[in-house]
Structure 1
Amino acid sequence: MEYVGIVLISHSEKVAEGLKEIIQQVILNVPVEVAGGTDDGEIGTSIEKINRAIDRAYSSKGVLLFYDLGSAKMNAELAIELSEKENIKLVDVPLLEGSYVAAVESSTGKDLKTIIENVNKGF
């Protein structure tokens, strides 16, 4: 079975990795990928890291992107524009809570639209 993938975008690699670890304590079947920090390991975000994470998390059901701060949102939007894939959506909810709920929803086999609707209901 395929699942909607999750990409965690943070200015901190440690934050993104820690959140992935929290999600994977409960959800193991959903692809969760991280794009934390810059390419040289500094605080910030990287369009290239986001694109690589999208590629790894992507399935025919799509992928959801969650982010921590404004410039991460801008880079995520640009990554979506540059991607040739369909069904990539940016979700504007708190990073931790939103991505966790989305992973749980995805693990039950729900589609992209339903997951977004359910995640947005909580915020």
Structure 2
Amino acid sequence: MSDGAPVGIVLVSHSAQVAAAVADLAVGLSGGKGTAPVAAAGGTPDGGLGTSAELITAAALSVDRGAGVAILVDLGSAVLTVKTLLLDEDELPPGSRLVDAPLVEGAVAAVVAASAGADLDAVEAAAREAYEYRKV
């Protein structure tokens, strides 16, 4: 991993619109300036609902700065797609990691942590802590 480089964040959803909206929200709530690189990978290449290994790989490559890539997903087949990509060492950048966290809250926490200079382990921990956010 590269010293001083930010962790990249990839947000995977079955919907391109959801992935993009979550990315916009996370970047906006993190302050907007000096944020870690964030990419949305939603839907299929033809604009339909689903997940695409091709779009996920492209998103991960676009945010990779050498410090690792945290990948957050929405539903089951997105998890399976990312796990499959992680098994093939040539598909995703080194240090890519599937993060078990809620998509929206986890994305905000991950982007804030990565933008503050946290390493991949700390970014993952921040995103995972989002499971503990109570709303009542």
Max Rg structure: 2
State the Cα distance separating 1:66 from its structure 2 match: 0.5
Identity of aligned residues (%): 36
In structure 1, stretches of 5+ residues that fail to align are none
Provide the residue aligned with 1:122 in structure 2.
130
State the Cα distance separating 1:77 from its structure 2 match: 1.2
Q: How large is the RMSD of aligned CA atoms in angstroms?
A: 1.4
Asked if 1:105 is matched to 2:113, the reply is: yes
Matches of residues 46-57 of structure 1 in structure 2 within 5 Å?
Answer: 46-57=52-63
Q: Provide the secondary structure at the position in 2 that maps to 1:44.
A: coil
In structure 2, stretches of 5+ residues that fail to align are 132-136
**What amino acid is the match of 2:77?**
S
- With normalisation by structure 2, the TM-score equals 0.84
Provide the residue aligned with 2:100 in structure 1.
92
Would the alpha carbon gap of residues 72 and 51 (structure 1) be closer, same or farther in structure 2, given more than 3 Å must change?
Answer: same
Equivalenced residues, count: 123
Query: Residues 10 and 40 of structure 2 are in contact (CA less than 8 Å); yes or no, is this contact kept in structure 1?
Result: yes
Which of these residues, 31, 43, 63, is aligned with residue 69 of structure 2?
63
- With normalisation by structure 1, the TM-score equals 0.92
Would the alpha carbon gap of residues 114 and 46 (structure 1) be closer, same or farther in structure 2, given more than 3 Å must change?
Answer: same
